[in-house]
Amino acid sequence: GEDVEQSLFLSVREGDSSVINCTYTDSSSTYLYWYKQEPGAGLQLLTYIFSNMDMKQDQRLTVLLNKKDKHLSLRIADTQTGDSAIYFCAEPLRDMRFGAGTRLTVKP
């Protein structure tokens, strides 16, 4: 497909794990990115993964990459209310191409 695809909404309870999924478009993308957008702010890079890796762990964040299926996921362990935001996956094509964003809501 031409678009980077993500589900639009995810709701979890505080302390649970969150998993946000993404399907990207170009199997030759060398890096894949996750950005976070808090209300009223611009996007900020959260984490990224090289295409030669299957997994990357960074504190509470785990990124999994399945190149065969062009599938990327972001797991947030012990989700906190401060994690409520919109999460975008992105791949560098002619421009940095963003998914539609997944709005994560964390309930106390």
List contacts with other proteins (CB under 8 A). Answer: 33, 35, 37, 40-45, 48, 86, 88, 90, 92-98, 100-101, 103
Query: Least separation, in Å, of the C-beta of 1 and other proteins?
Result: 15
| Residue whose CB is less far from other proteins, 39 or 108 | 39
Nearer to other proteins by Cβ, of 38 and 78: the residue is 38
Residue closer to other proteins by CB (options 77, 96) is: 96
HEC string of the chain? CCCCEECCEEEEECCCCEEEEEECCCCCCCEEEEEEECCCCCEEEEEEEECCCCEEEECCEEEEEECCCCEEEEEECCCCHHHCEEEEEEEECCCEEECCCEEEEEEC
In angstroms, give the least distance from the CB of 7 to other proteins. 13
